[in-house]
Chain A
């Protein structure tokens, strides 16, 4: 956001609805554009993931979106004594998929706001559902660098699946 711009209007995040106009959205990635246009609603109806959109308040243009879904972590070849000590096993996690912002918002930090909204939503349900971490799939090196800034880390031999603990997120959100 440059200094010369007027005070920007607030951003509102909402669940994708049937009446949303998805035809104009362009994040520069054909696959993600197609996802929003063709599959996001379908996946929502099939409970495969909920899509949330960002718009300026009182406006209809979709500036960005992300998909949230639930998942779980299973351990292979890990002794039972270890998994028994876990509060829950398999470990429930949340997954953020397909986060994208419209090209028109480039340089305004929209991607960051989308990610924070996803965090806020996961935090809201984490107590009730016992969610311990968030997984993202970074589609390329650029996306990976973006997520790493906020603390996401990769695991051995799997460079594009990144994880972040809910504890760190909670601490960030409760700090004044």
Chain B
């Protein structure tokens, strides 16, 4: 993702921040050996990736994993599910 961003920078992001925040970012960027803009972008992308992964990944404990696997083997639909599929078929055009 990062390399792609670097190869084709066509977008701009403006943000307002306090002098204090900017100084802190500048210090950290210097430590990381990056200019401020590259540092801010890398940090924001890192945070974004973490959030995006989190939102589509569910991490289960060992006990939950066992429950989950046995649940996946459930073959038998409930009565309500069976009836609902029939009603769905008669309510739609498929």
Contacts and interface: CB of A to CB of B under 8 A. Distances in A.
A42 to B, nearest CB: 15
Interface majority SS (helix, strand, loop, mixed), chain A: mixed
B75 A168 contact: yes
Contact of A76 (B62, B74, B87): B62
A20 interface: no
Contacts of B71: 133, 153, 155, 163-165
A171 B64 contact: no
Interface string A143-176: 0000001110101111001011111110111010
A75 B75 CA distance: 22
A116 B94 CA distance: 12
A57 interface: yes
Interface in B38-94: 55-65, 67-68, 71-78, 80-82, 84-85, 87-88, 91-94
Contacts of A171: 75-77
Chain A: interface size category: 35 or more
A158 B63 CA distance: 12
Contacts, number: 128
Interface of B: 55-65, 67-68, 71-78, 80-82, 84-85, 87-88, 91-94
14 contacts: A11-B91, A70-B56, A71-B58, A72-B56, A73-B57, A73-B60, A74-B57, A95-B56, A133-B71, A155-B71, A156-B64, A156-B67, A165-B72, A165-B74
Given A74-B59, A168-B77, 10 more contacts: A8-B91, A69-B56, A133-B71, A135-B58, A150-B84, A151-B77, A164-B71, A166-B72, A172-B82, A172-B84
